[in-house]
Amino acid sequence: MKPTVKEYTNDEVLKQDVTELKNQGIDKQDIYILSHDDERTNRVAGNADANTIGLSEMGLGSAVGNIFSKKGDELRTKLEEIGFSKEEAERYEEKLDEGKILLMVTNRDRVTGGI
């Protein structure tokens, strides 16, 4: 199933939304953060107590392939690995290029209030 996604420019608003999702019963394991900058992704995910797309979501083959990929290719691969089509991954990667940060929920059935 395709993840639910919302774009942000403000890290604090994203953090508040993650807290709200958790208050609705969404498991931390279903909440992911992604930005164009790995350091920002890790910082925001850490502050919000959310996940990043890593080895367990991607599988070893994709993760190793990303070592030799350009940043845009790496981001699109991560987006495809968690359920987006190639076209959707390209569209969201463009948003990341613009400085947006993405909040994604992979278990949409459990999102009651939406994001």
What's the pLDDT score for residue 68? Answer: 46
The Cα–Cα gap between 51 and 3 comes to 14
| Cβ-contact 110, 27 below 8 angstroms | yes
Q: What is the pLDDT of residue 42?
A: 93
pLDDT along the chain (115 residues), means of 10: 90 95 92 93 94 62 50 85 92 95 81 52
Q: Residue 70: what residue type?
A: K
How far separated are the first and last CA of the chain, in Å rounded?
Answer: 16
Report pLDDT for 69.
54
| Long-range CB contacts (within 8 A, 24+) of 104-107 | 104/3, 104/4, 104/5, 104/31, 104/32, 104/33, 104/34, 105/3, 105/4, 105/5, 105/21, 105/26, 105/30, 105/31, 105/32, 106/1, 106/3, 106/30, 106/32, 106/82, 107/1, 107/26, 107/27, 107/30
Whether the full predicted model's pTM is greater than 0.75, yes or no, is: yes
pLDDT at res. 56: 52
Confidence at residue 77, expressed as pLDDT on a 0 to 100 scale: 87
